[in-house]
Chain A
C-alpha cells in the first residue's frame, strides 16, 4: 500500500508527547488555538493516527535554512 509519508515531497511528521507539547506551548507562549492547524481529515493525520488536540512536529527541507521545524495542532474538519 502506498503511504503518503513515503512520498519525497511529504515532510517528516511526528506526534508530540504531552510533555513535548507543553514545552512547545510554553516556548512560544501560546495557547493551542494560536498554533497553525491541520484537519483531522488530512491524509497525513489519518496515516499517523494523530487525534484531535494532538500537536504534530513537521520537519521540512527549507531553501533558506536547510531544515525547518513547524508545529500544527490537529482540529476536526
Chain B
C-alpha cells in the first residue's frame, strides 16, 4: 500500500505512566525467563505475549507470525520512582526554576523569554511567595542536592506534580507533565527488538537488553519485598540506587560517572543509546548505509594490456557472483548450455522457491526448466559491473567496467584509470558490484561507463590518459629524426597489441607511427610539456621540438608528451574526447599507452648512479655556489648580531633574519639547479622529467648536487634543545648547517646532520599527509551536505530545493566546467 498523504505535523513528547500502562499487554512481575521445560514464563521479560521471535510460532497477542507481529510492550511497576537519565539536564533546570514552597516557575508573568535563556537563570528568591531558595546542584550521573541535602526522586516528583500547568506553558513545556520525567512505570520493550539467538546445542543466548531488563526486574522485585517486610532505610536506599543504576545503563551505558555495566564475559553491555549512536549505530550503520549482496572486494593490480573500460576479475569471484537470467522459450537452449557448463548457481521457480544447483541436481533441474523460471547465471566476459574505490569523493570514484575473467586472486585494472579512482597498487583494495536488472545495467552503461567519463566534470579536461612509462615511451618514440624500418615498426605494433595495417612504406619515423593512432582530420597546435620557455618562442620552428603541430591526423612537428596524452593535461585526449566517438578515444588511450610501453621495452629504459655524474669543473662551481649561499647567510647573522641587518617591513628582526637566510640559501640552490640542468648528460632521468612522466628538476638537483634547506612548518628547523637543534651544536648557533641546511646531494651522501634534518622533514611530511586528508575529508563532507540539493536551472540560475536563487549565473560566468577546456572556453581554436 502506498500512502500519499502529507504529514501535517509531528509532535514529540514523553510517555505518561498512564500511556505506558495502556500500551502494554503484559505486566512484568518476575525476573525468570524460562521455566524448567524451556518455555518462556508468563509475566517474565520473555513473556510470549510480548511478540514472536521464533520462526513458525504465532504471537499470543496478535496471532501474527514472524514479520507480521510488530511486538508488544509490557510494563514494570517500579517500587520507587527512578530518574530518567536522558532528562537529567531538564530536571535540573526545572528544579532550579521552581519555588521549593509554592512550586511556581520563578519568573514574573510579564517576562517573555526563550526556554534556553531561562535555563541560565536560577532565582534566589521566589517572586511570588518570597521564599528564599536553596542552591540546587547536580552531580553526575543522576544526583541532585538542595544546598547540601540530597533530593531523592520521590521528592523531586512530588515537587514537579505541583507545578501549575499555566506556568509550564510559559517556559515552553507542552504535551507532557514534568513529573513524567521521573519514571514510576517502566516500559518493557517487545522481544522483537531484543531477539535471543539459539546456539547449536539448543542453548539460548539472550540479547544485551534482555540481560539488562532481567537485572532491572530482579532488583526492583527485591526492593519491593524489602519495603514490604519493612527493611531498614539504608538497605532500601542501596537497592533503590541499584535500580536507578540498572535503568540508567539500560538507556545509556557510556554514562560519565557511572561504571560500565558488563556482561559475564567482561564485555560492556549495549544500551539503547549505543544502538543508535555513532558509525555502527542504527542511523549511520543501518539506515544511511547497508551491507549489500552481489559484491566483491579484493586487492587491485595493474594490467597494461587490458582496456580502460575492462576489469580483470578472478575466476573465484566470477563463479560466485551471479546475474539473473529470465528463462523464455527463446533462450532455453542457452539456459540448458549454462546448466551443462555448471554456470548456474541458483534457480528461482515461479513459486518463489530458491534452489541451489549442485552436481547432483543439475541434470534434473535442467530437464524441468521452463519459461518463467529465473536462473542465477555466473558472470561471463563482457558483463557490466560497477567498480569503486573508497573514499568515494566524486562521481568518477565509481564507474562501470566490462569484466574479463582472469586467473589468480586480484582485480586487474589498466593503469590509465588510476587517476579517477586515485588508486595505486601498494595494496589498495577495490569493490565490485553486479547490477541485477536490465535497467540497472543499461543505466550503468550509459552514465557510468569509463569511456563516457574520460572528461572530468570538475576541471574540463581528461582525467584518464597516459602516465609514467607510457609517456616516457611516446616521448622517446616521437623524437626528431627517430626512424624504424618496416620490420621493426610492425614488430612494435604487434608487441603493443595494435591490430593495424601499416602503410606501404619502407621506413617510418616515430611521429608517423604515433600518427597512425590518430583519427584523420585532427588538426591541433600547442606547446608541449618539454617546452623550455625560451625568451622568444619560435613556435613551429622550435629548436627543442616542443611545438606540437598536428595536421589531418599526422604529427608534423613536436614531441608527444604529458601535454599531449597525459591525464589531466593531455590536449589530444581532450580534443578526441569532445569531437570523436567514445570508442575512438578509448581505443586511442589504450593503444597509445601500449605503444609507449612496448617501445620502451624495445628500446630499454634504465637509470643508474652514473646518470647523475657531473664533470669535475661543474662540481667545483656547484660547491662554490653553495659556499656563497652559506657565506651570505653568515654575513647576515653577523650583521644581525651587530644590529646592522636590514629589517623587512612587518617583521621582527629575528623573522627578517630567518627570511633573508632562507632567501639567500634558496637562490643559491636554484643557481645550483640551473648548473645541474645545463651540465647533466641527456639520459633517462632527464627524459622522465622533461616529458612530464615522473620526477622534476628539483628531484634531480637534490640527487646530483644539493638537497638544500629542510623545513618544519615552512621554517628552518628550530626545535630540539635550549637554543640549539642538537646537543652537538653550540648554543645560539644560527648558521645554516645547524638549522636544517643540507649542503650535499643524495648521490654523494648526506652528513649525519644532513640525514637527521632530512628525516625530520620527511616525518613532518608523513604526519601532515594523514592529518590533511582527514581534515579536508571532513571539510568536503560538510560542503557536500550543504550544497547537495542546489541545482543549475535551465535559465542558468542556481537554486535550492524551494526555488530560492543562490546565484544568478552559475559560477558567475555561466560556464559548465565539464564542457569547458580547463575552465575556459577555447572557441577561437575551433573557429579557425
Contact = CB atoms under 8 A, between A and B. Distances in A.
Given A30-B803, A34-B803, A68 B797 contact: no
B812 to A, nearest CB: 4
A64 B813 contact: yes
A65 B797 contact: no
Interface in B797-821: 797, 799, 802-809, 811-815
A28 B813 contact: no
Given A28-B795, A70-B808, A71-B808, A64 B815 contact: yes
A62 interface: yes
A33 B803 CA distance: 10
B813 A62 contact: yes
A14 to B, nearest CB: 15
Given A29-B795, A30-B803, A34-B803, A62 B812 contact: yes
Contacts of A33: 804
B812 A28 contact: no
Nearest to A34: B804
A71 B813 CA distance: 16
Interface in B455-510: none
Contacts of A65: 809, 811-814
Interface in B485-537: none
Contacts of B807: 70
Interface in B767-817: 795, 797, 799, 802-809, 811-815
Contacts of B808: 28, 68-71
A34 B804 CA distance: 4
Nearest to B804: A34
A38 interface: no
A32 to B, nearest CB: 11
A35 B805 contact: yes
Q: Which of B802, B806, B813, B814 has the most CB of A within 10 A?
A: B813
B811 A64 contact: yes
A47 B303 CA distance: 66
A29 B803 CA distance: 10
A36 interface: yes
Contacts of A36: 804-806
Interface residues of A, number: 15
Contacts of B814: 65
A28 B815 CA distance: 18
A14 B814 CA distance: 23
A30 B799 CA distance: 11
A37 to B, nearest CB: 9
Contacts of A30: 803, 805
Contacts of A34: 799, 802-805
B811 A28 contact: no
B96 to A, nearest CB: 32
A28 B806 CA distance: 12
B809 A28 contact: no
A36 to B, nearest CB: 6
A36 B799 CA distance: 10
Contacts of B802: 34
Contacts of B797: 28
A68 B806 contact: no
B464 to A, nearest CB: 26
A36 B815 CA distance: 21
A68 B803 contact: no
A65 B823 CA distance: 11
A25 B622 CA distance: 69
A65 B815 CA distance: 9
Interface in A26-76: 28-30, 33-36, 62-65, 68-71
Q: Which of A64, A68, A71 has the most CB of B within 10 A?
A: A64
B720 to A, nearest CB: 43
Contact of A68 (B799, B804, B812, B815): B812
A35 B526 CA distance: 44
A76 B806 CA distance: 19
Contacts of A68: 808-809, 812-813
Given A28-B795, A28-B797, A29-B795, A64 B812 contact: yes
A59 to B, nearest CB: 11
Interface of B: 795, 797, 799, 802-809, 811-815, 823
30 contacts: A28-B797, A28-B805, A30-B803, A30-B805, A33-B804, A34-B799, A34-B803, A34-B804, A34-B805, A35-B804, A35-B805, A36-B804, A36-B805, A36-B806, A62-B812, A62-B813, A63-B812, A64-B811, A64-B812, A64-B815, A65-B809, A65-B811, A65-B812, A68-B808, A68-B809, A68-B812, A69-B808, A70-B808, A71-B805, A71-B808
Interface of A: 28-30, 33-36, 62-65, 68-71
What 3 pairs between A and B have smallest CB-CB spacing? A65-B813, A68-B812, A64-B813
